[in-house]
């Protein structure tokens, strides 16, 4: 194939990829309407501590919640050009239980808060700072539950508290960057969760701070009750709406938030035959996380960057959230200057014209997205073997390009306000498989992240330093289906979770584990149904469906106990069963088609012979 024609094919494939992405996702969404792969009913126990039941119109709140959230549709966003939903794969119906503990329990709880608090001034805010980790450890012990309370078997517990009589107070967490040893705190929190393996999330509604209110929070409850009299009907309605907002946010941003991109199994592909292109990853198979540690710091070499990545911590985090896979972490130290084309792209993406200080940050830096565009095209056009030959595009590989630059990184939005010299992005690459007759391709996880010399080796103006480990876990967390635990406000992002912007954790919380594992189960059953629906013979389909329903019943038992590990292993068995049944069906169809074709050929041969003899006979008679 000449190069011009090959380039034309690639361009055509690019166009088809864009349109097929939109068409495929749209069609999938339509097919999944009212046809969910899993349906479950979850309990949400809402515990009001320090909040009188006379303040809330429970019937009104329950009615509002059921109309707003009844049947939360969980979507999965696979790796696609526009990151669109591929359809709602699961349906969760919520049962709301409202619990008001005794005054004595409230008092004992307040005593524990005071025992775990320190009174001091931070950033001109004076008050009590409560150790969130210690409080969660205490709260999640059964002996410290409210009287006669047992958490739901299938669901979550949400605490709403009002400790306004403590005066100004906040919750504090302590973190350490294990790569650099840098210790720091998060001081102004109003919630906690994720420090233990429990399914309890706690929000103190009496915490007041401009930081919280500036990001969409409804404000502290004492402000609300001062404005709206809770003893009046209109006041109760407004307070019920207040709780509705908090509950809705917690459900959609934490308990049942969407999965994103593509989970390791069933990674999205494009081909004329959708079913044959499902990327199947068997349980106990090995996944590879390849980290290309690319040094572009003039004073250092690539090997000096190795202490800033903890491969054991990365491996443990991913085997913890997806225990049915084994993970191999491979770090490849690379000098950018050893690869001329890569070095040239980095040079072009670096702005060296400005040293202006604006809002405490040096302007200029490296545009990471320019580098990403180049890497994407090198892989897509199959040029990487000469320009960046260290790249591994195997289907079981997660690629991470971890850059180190002399200067900062040009980020976007508020990310640069937190860490102007730290940036991570979970993106994607496309490996095209093109020959003369077939155009297909598959998406691959591809994350880019960068740290500056300042953050790695000396610290910024606040003495902050950072390594790569937490950033690698966070960005590759997206690639296995995890999303950020925040939406309208930052409250739900205060959980101890690798996907949080506020926390600095190396672990995935129980909430994120639940979501990612449910996503794997949902996709396994989704594709099982895809195979099942592709069978046109009703008798064969009915027989397989009966066996499918029996097997899914067992999955649902595990699923409704939140035992997602065993549920997934059973879901994989169901997927394998339906897939093999579909292939057996195709063999029967192909066999019948061949038989019919052979019979047709025999009949045509006989008729053709008779006709030929007839014509010959006629010819003979005619000549006579």
pLDDT in tens, 512-557: 999 999 988 888 888 898 899 999 999 999 999 999 999 999 999 9
Per-residue model confidence (pLDDT) at position 620: 31
Residue identified by tokens 């699923």 is 559
Q: Whole-angstrom Cα distance, residue 391 to residue 400?
A: 10
Per-residue model confidence (pLDDT) at position 355: 55
* Cross-sheet strand order for the sheet of 117-122: 117-122, 125-131, 169-176, 183-189
Q: Whole-angstrom Cα distance, residue 314 to residue 202?
A: 28
Q: pLDDT tens digits for 160-169?
A: 999 999 999 9
Q: Whole-angstrom Cα distance, residue 593 to residue 614?
A: 31
On whether the CB atoms of residues 155 and 114 are closer than 8 A, the answer is no
Does residue 45 carry a pLDDT above 90?
A: yes
- Assign 419 a pLDDT band (cuts: 50, 70, 90): very low
Buried b (16+ CB within 10 A) or exposed e, 462-486: eebbbbbbbbbbbbbbbbbbbbbbb
Per-residue model confidence (pLDDT) at position 212: 55
- Assign 421 a pLDDT band (cuts: 50, 70, 90): low
In this predicted model, which residue has the larger pLDDT, 584 or 617?
584
On whether the CB atoms of residues 173 and 133 are closer than 8 A, the answer is yes
Instruction: Fill in the DSSP letter of residue 561.
Output: T
Nearest one of 282, 285, 289 to 328, comparing CA atoms: 289
Phi, psi dihedral angles at 90 (to 5 degrees): -145, 160
Q: pLDDT tens digits for 278-288?
A: 667 788 889 99
Token duo for residue 526:
């989704």
Could you tell me the residue ranges of all domains in the chain?
36-255, 269-480, 535-624
Q: Whole-angstrom Cα distance, residue 391 to residue 446?
A: 11
Percent of the chain with pLDDT over 90: 50
Q: Whole-angstrom Cα distance, residue 517 to residue 481?
A: 9
Return the top range by mean pLDDT from 26-35, 213-222, 410-419, 604-613. Answer: 213-222
| Of the listed ranges 119-123, 187-191, 287-291, 479-483, the one predicted with least confidence | 479-483
Across-strand partners of 155?
Answer: 43
| Of the listed ranges 58-72, 124-138, 535-549, the one predicted with least confidence | 58-72
Nearest one of 384, 346, 391, 382 to 366, comparing CA atoms: 346
Token duo for residue 7:
């380039």
DSSP 205-256: TT---HHHHTTT----HHHHHHHS-TTSHHHHHHHHHHHHHHHHHHIIIIIS
Percent of the chain with pLDDT over 70: 75
Q: 179 exposed, middle or buried (CB, 10 Å; 0-12, 13-18, 19+)? A: buried
- Assign 594 a pLDDT band (cuts: 50, 70, 90): low
Across-strand partners of 574?
Answer: none
The 3-state secondary structure of 349-404 reads HEECCCCCEECCEECCEEEHHHHHHHHHHHHHCCCHHHHCCCCCCCCCEEEEEEEE
On whether the CB atoms of residues 524 and 513 are closer than 8 A, the answer is no
Q: Whole-angstrom Cα distance, residue 487 to residue 446?
A: 24
Q: Whole-angstrom Cα distance, residue 67 to residue 70?
A: 6
Across-strand partners of 120?
Answer: 127
Per-residue model confidence (pLDDT) at position 90: 76
Per-residue model confidence (pLDDT) at position 2: 47
Q: How far is CA 607 from CA 132, 603, 616, in A?
A: 88, 6, 14
Question: What is the helix (H) or strand (E) element at residue 621, kind and residue range?
Answer: helix 564-623
Nearest one of 48, 187, 202 to 137, comparing CA atoms: 202
On whether the CB atoms of residues 400 and 449 are closer than 8 A, the answer is yes
| Of the listed ranges 44-53, 340-349, 365-374, the one predicted with least confidence | 365-374
Q: Which residues contact 483 (CB under 8 A, 6 or more apart)?
A: 257, 258, 259, 260, 499, 515
Instruction: Count the neighbouring beta carbons within 10 Å of the beta carbon of residue 325.
Output: 20
Instruction: Count the neighbouring beta carbons within 10 Å of the beta carbon of residue 624.
Output: 5
Does residue 11 carry a pLDDT above 50?
A: no
Single pTM value for the model: 0.85
Q: Whole-angstrom Cα distance, residue 407 to residue 297?
A: 9
Nearest one of 250, 322, 263, 267 to 72, comparing CA atoms: 250
On whether the CB atoms of residues 77 and 83 are closer than 8 A, the answer is yes
> How many helices (H) and strands (E) are present in the chain, helices listed first?
17, 21
Q: pLDDT tens digits for 323-346?
A: 999 999 999 999 999 999 999 999
The 3-state secondary structure of 19-83 reads HHHHHHHHHHHHHHCCCCCEEEEEEEEEEEECCCHHHCCHHHHHHHHHHHHCCEEEEEECCCCCC
Q: Which residues contact 125 (CB under 8 A, 6 or more apart)?
A: 168, 170, 188, 209
In this predicted model, which residue has the larger pLDDT, 599 or 339?
339
Token duo for residue 411:
């980020």
- Assign 434 a pLDDT band (cuts: 50, 70, 90): low
Q: Which residues contact 114 (CB under 8 A, 6 or more apart)?
A: 128, 166
Q: Whole-angstrom Cα distance, residue 61 to residue 279?
A: 44
Q: How far is CA 406 from CA 20, 70, 365, in A?
A: 41, 52, 9
Nearest one of 63, 253, 50 to 159, comparing CA atoms: 50
């Amino acid at each position: 194939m000449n190069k011009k024609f090959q380039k034309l094919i690639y361009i055509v494939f690019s166009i088809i990829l864009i349109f097929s992405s939109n068409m495929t996702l749209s069609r999938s969404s339509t097919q999944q309407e009212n046809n969910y792969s899993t349906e479950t009913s979850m309990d949400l126990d809402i515990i009001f501590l320090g909040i009188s039941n006379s303040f809330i119109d429970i019937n009104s709140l329950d009615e509002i919640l059921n109309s707003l959230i009844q049947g939360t549709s969980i979507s999965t966003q696979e790796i696609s050009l526009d990151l669109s939903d591929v359809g709602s794969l699961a349906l969760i119906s919520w049962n709301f239980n409202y619990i008001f503990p005794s005054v004595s329990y409230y008092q004992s709880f307040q005593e524990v808060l005071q025992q775990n608090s320190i009174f001091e001034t931070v950033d001109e805010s004076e008050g009590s700072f409560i150790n969130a980790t210690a409080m969660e450890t205490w709260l999640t012990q059964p002996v410290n539950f409210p009287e006669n309370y047992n958490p739901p078997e299938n669901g979550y517990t949400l605490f709403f508290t009002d400790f306004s009589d403590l005066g100004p107070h906040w919750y504090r967490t302590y973190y350490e960057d294990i790569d650099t040893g840098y210790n720091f705190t998060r001081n102004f929190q109003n919630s906690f969760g994720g420090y233990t393996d429990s399914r309890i999330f706690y929000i103190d509604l009496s915490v007041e701070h401009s930081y919280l209110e500036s990001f969409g929070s409804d404000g502290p409850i004492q402000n609300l009750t001062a404005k709206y009299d809770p003893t009046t009907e209109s006041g109760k309605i407004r307070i019920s709406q207040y709780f509705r907002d908090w509950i809705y946010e917690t459900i959609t941003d934490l308990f049942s938030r969407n999965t994103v991109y593509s989970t390791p199994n069933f990674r999205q592909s494009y081909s004329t035959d959708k079913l044959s292109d499902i990327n199947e990853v068997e349980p106990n198979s090995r996944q590879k996380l390849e980290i290309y540690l690319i040094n572009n710091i003039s004073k250092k070499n690539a090997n000096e960057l190795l202490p800033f990545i903890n491969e054991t911590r990365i491996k443990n985090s991913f085997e913890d959230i997806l225990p049915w896979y084994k993970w191999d972490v491979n770090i490849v130290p690379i000098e950018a200057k050893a690869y001329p084309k890569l070095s040239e792209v980095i040079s072009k993406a670096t702005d060296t014209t400005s040293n202006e200080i604006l809002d405490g940050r040096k302007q200029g830096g490296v545009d990471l997205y320019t580098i990403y565009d180049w890497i994407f095209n090198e892989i897509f056009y199959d040029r990487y073997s000469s320009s960046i030959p260290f790249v591994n595009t195997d289907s079981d590989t997660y690629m991470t390009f971890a850059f180190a630059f002399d200067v900062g990184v040009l980020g976007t939005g508020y990310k640069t306000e937190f860490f102007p010299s730290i940036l991570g992005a979970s993106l994607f690459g496309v490996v095209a498989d093109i020959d003369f007759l077939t155009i297909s391709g598959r998406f691959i996880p591809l994350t880019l992240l960068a740290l500056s010399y300042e953050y790695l080796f000396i610290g910024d103006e606040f003495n902050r330093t950072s390594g790569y480990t937490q950033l690698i876990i966070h960005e590759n967390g997206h690639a296995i289906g995890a999303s950020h635990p925040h939406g309208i406000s930052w409250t739900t992002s205060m959980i101890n979770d690798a996907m949080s912007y506020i926390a600095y954790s190396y672990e995935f919380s129980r909430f994120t584990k639940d979501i990612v594992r449910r996503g794997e189960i949902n996709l396994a059953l989704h594709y099982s149904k895809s195979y099942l629906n592709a069978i046109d013979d009703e008798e064969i389909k009915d027989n397989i469906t009966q066996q499918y329903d029996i097997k899914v019943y067992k999955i649902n038992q595990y699923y409704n106990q939140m035992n997602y590990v065993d549920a997934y292993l059973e879901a994989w068995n169901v997927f394998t069963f339906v897939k093999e049944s579909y292939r057996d069906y195709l063999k029967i169809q192909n066999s019948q088609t061949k038989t019919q074709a052979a019979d047709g050929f025999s009949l045509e041969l006989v008729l053709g012979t008779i006709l030929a003899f007839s014509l010959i006979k006629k010819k003979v008679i005619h000549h006579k």
